[in-house]
Structures are given as C-alpha cells and as structure tokens.
C-alpha cells in the first residue's frame, strides 16, 4: 500500500463515520468494515501498548472497527493466577491500551472477561488486568457463573454442534479477541482459536470430545471476533499453558493483528517456531473455511520499531 491509497481509505473510513445516526448504525451492524488493504499487521520490538498504537494505525485506527455508542467486548486470556512476566495471561498494558482506543473511537461501554482456569478473582487481580481495565474506564465482568452463559448452536460444526456462550459475546457489537501466544501441553500452542475456549462454559466437553476438532468447530460460530490482537511480548515457550517459572518465558516483543483468526494463528505458530500445518486445529479450521493459514498469498504489513 502506498501513501496515496492509505489516505484514500482513511478518507473513505472518515466519510463513512459522517453518515448520520440511524444509517451509521445500520452500516456498522450489517457489514464488517475492512478499512485497509492489509490482511495482517505484524509488529515487533516495542512495548505492548506502543506496538498496538502503531499496528492499529496501519488498519485505519480503532475507529475502523468501533463506531460511536457501540458495545465492545475485549476478551484477553486471564486463565491463570500468575503475574504478567510469567506470560500466562495477556499483558495488562496491551489490554488497557485496547480499552482506551475503544473509548476514543466512541464506544459506549467496553467489557472485559475471561472464563478462567484458576480462581477468577485471584487471576483477574494478579494478572494486573482488573486494574488495567478499571484504570482505562472499562468494565470487568465475571465469567465464573453459569447463569451468564446462553445456549447456542454452531452451524457446520462436526462435533461441537452446540455450546453455552457468555452473553457478552452474543450481545456486543464489537468483539476483540486478545490472546497471548503460549505453548500448550495438549494443543501444542494456544493463540486466537484456542482463546475462544474462555467464552464457553463447559471446557471439559471440548477435552472429552476431540479437543482439536472442537477448537476448529468453534471457529465457525456466527459471532466471530471483529479483530484479533495476538500478544507475543512475553512468550511461554515451554510448560504451557500455565508455566512453572520465569525460565519458561522468552522475551519476544511481538504482536500480530488480523481479522482472520486462522491467519493470526498461522503467523503466531511461525513466530513460536512451529509449522502451522503441524498444529492440528489450525489445519482443521483452515479446511473448514474459518480462515486461511497460507500466509504467502496475504498482504501483510511488517513493522519493526
């Protein structure tokens, strides 16, 4: 993309914002806006919040995804009661920055939750995410109560034909998936597709019924993330997803931003050092049409800060 094209798309995006009231809402809901020509932005060598600032800019800023008065859900990984340096949870600085961007773009409310593995209150607190969200004015919500989860069906799924999904996923206008890249004892790596395990109630069902197929099945669910932001700042290279000590973590200072979950996972796999096709759920999701794992045909913006 050259500068002229960028300005054009920027102007177009700006113009679409000026479409008044009811029509603006109509457009926002009816069509997913792809504001720039990039399929993916990869950023490296910066602090989490800086990398996000630079990365989202390439996609036309957060206002390309969040419209005025919309309800936004940001779904980081807050699975474990560990500190940020352990790379078990999404970096709080990144979550905070995303929430801030959403409000700047005019979001009415920004919600953040995860269905944690460790005790949720302790995980929210020790991950630093609870404080980060509150500081940014966002609303932190429990994922710990079955009453929040509603029955849904997943068309096209092979195993996971139905599930119970958190109401915020169903009700939000914009859904931003913010996983952290980690090693995983059974899934090999966990990134965007696997992070969706934190929006359903019964993870045990996935484990019991062919984990890889279930992860791929869920990627067909109608409520897909509007945007995926992969945190690869602290990367747990071994003993994931929980990790044992700081020794498990490599400082990678990277970030992948994409609207395509499968592509984001494929790029993350390469960052991690494994072939995307060797991670069974990525291959399955690709073959089921949830996205593309072949990066060679994609328009990727690479930024080294």
Work out the number of other CB atoms within 10 angstroms of the CB of residue 49.
18
Q: How big is the chain, counted in residues?
A: 305
- Closest distance to another protein from the beta carbon of 298 (Å): 9
Q: Is 131 exposed, middle or buried (0-12, 13-18, 19+ CB in 10 A)?
A: middle
- Closest distance to another protein from the beta carbon of 7 (Å): 26
User: Could you give the residue ranges of the DSSP H alpha helices within 79-224?
Assistant: 92-104, 120-126, 129-135, 167-171, 192-195, 203-208, 211-218
Beta bridge partners of 231: 180, 255
Nearer to another protein, 16 or 210 (CB): 210
Q: Give dist(CA 238, CA 79) in Å, integer.
A: 16
Nearer to another protein, 63 or 206 (CB): 206
Nearer to another protein, 63 or 84 (CB): 84
- Closest distance to another protein from the beta carbon of 155 (Å): 23
- Closest distance to another protein from the beta carbon of 299 (Å): 13
Nearer to another protein, 25 or 150 (CB): 150
- Which of 87, 53, 38 lies closest to 263 in space, CA to CA? 38
Nearer to another protein, 63 or 73 (CB): 73
Nearer to another protein, 53 or 144 (CB): 144
Query: b/e per residue, 220-232, with b = 16+ CB within 10 A?
Result: bbeebbbbbbbbb
The single residue listed with the structure tokens 């409520």 is 223
- Which of 241, 305, 298 lies closest to 53 in space, CA to CA? 305
What tokens appear for 30 in the block? 């009816």
Write out the residues near another protein by the rule CB under 8 A. 42, 44-45, 81-82, 111, 117-119, 121-122, 126, 139-142, 144-148, 171, 184-187, 203-205, 207-213, 235, 237-239, 241-242, 244-245, 247-254, 266-267, 270-271, 273, 280, 295, 300, 302, 304
- Closest distance to another protein from the beta carbon of 209 (Å): 8
- Closest distance to another protein from the beta carbon of 63 (Å): 24
């Amino acid at each position: 993309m050259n500068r002229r094209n960028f300005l054009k798309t920027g102007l177009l995006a700006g113009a679409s914002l000026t479409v008044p009231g009811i029509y603006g809402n109509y457009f926002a809901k009816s069509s997913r806006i792809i504001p720039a020509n990039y399929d993916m932005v990869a950023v490296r060598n910066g602090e989490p919040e800086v990398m996000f600032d630079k990365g989202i800019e390439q996609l036309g800023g957060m206002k390309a995804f969040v419209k005025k008065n919309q309800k936004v859900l940001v779904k980081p990984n807050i699975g474990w009661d560990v500190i940020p340096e352990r790379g078990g949870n999404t970096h709080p600085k990144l979550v905070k920055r995303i929430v801030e961007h959403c409000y700047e773009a005019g979001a009415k409310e920004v919600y953040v939750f995860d269905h944690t593995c460790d005790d949720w209150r302790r995980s929210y607190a020790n991950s630093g995410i609870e404080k980060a969200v509150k500081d940014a004015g966002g609303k932190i919500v429990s994922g710990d109560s079955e009453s929040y989860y509603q029955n849904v069906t997943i068309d096209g799924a092979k195993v996971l034909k139905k599930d119970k999904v958190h109401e915020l996923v169903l009700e939000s206008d914009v859904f931003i998936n913010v996983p952290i890249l980690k090693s995983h004892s059974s899934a090999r790596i966990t990134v965007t597709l696997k992070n969706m395990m934190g929006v359903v109630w019964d993870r045990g069902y996935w484990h019991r019924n062919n984990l890889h197929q279930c992860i791929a099945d869920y990627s067909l669910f109608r409520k897909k993330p509007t945007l995926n932001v992969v945190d690869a700042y602290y990367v747990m290279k071994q003993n994931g997803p929980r990790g044992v000590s700081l020794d498990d973590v490599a400082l990678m200072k990277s970030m992948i931003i994409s609207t395509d979950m499968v592509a984001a996972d494929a790029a993350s796999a390469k960052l991690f050092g494994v072939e995307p096709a060797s991670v069974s759920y990525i291959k399955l999701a690709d073959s089921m049409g949830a996205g593309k794992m072949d990066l060679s045909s994609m328009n990727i913006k690479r930024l080294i800060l």
